[in-house]
Amino acid sequence: MSQTSRVVVLVRHGETEWTRTKQHTGRQDIPLNEAGRREAELLRHRLTAWSFARVFVSPLSRARDTAVLAGLGDRAEVRPELVEFDYGAYEGRTRTDILRERPEWNLWRDGCPQGETAELVGIRADRIIS
């Protein structure tokens, strides 16, 4: 009896102006900058080693553009569950800025006001995995 292994390959979108400046980038549709476009193009060669059965992508343009530039756009299925973390009131703010107000804040433990918790993100991820 043969065993089939399944591998999940996670690819993060390329750089945006907000990721460059370390701002929390969740639901805002911030596009790739030039560095991010180059990063995505560099993935094309690395990803040719894989034969993907399915390719899922967030509905945000930075993720969809990364998939296209990495050579996976023709197979990419937009899945709403893969939308980025909802940072709520912390969207666009830096960790340093948030810690001035809440010195003990931890994204994974505390979540974000008017946003979501890590548990909620996990529920969305579980739907994709299943």
What are the 10-residue block averages of pLDDT along the chain, 130 residues in total? 73 95 96 98 92 94 97 95 96 97 95 94 92
**Angstrom distance (rounded) from CA 91 to CA 77:** 26
Q: Which residues pair with 16 in a beta bridge?
A: 32
Whether 24 is catalytic is no
pTM over 0.85: yes
Whether 77 is catalytic is no
Burial (CB count within 10 angstroms: exposed 0-12, middle 13-18, buried 19+), residue 28: middle
DSSP one-letter code for 57: E
The two structure tokens encoding residue 68: 């296209």
Question: What is the predicted pLDDT for the residue at 102?
Answer: 97
Catalytic residue among 13, 15, 24, 39: 13
Catalytic residue among 77, 84, 91, 116: 84
- What are the phi and psi torsion angles at 83 (to 5°)? -60, 150
**Angstrom distance (rounded) from CA 15 to CA 1:** 44
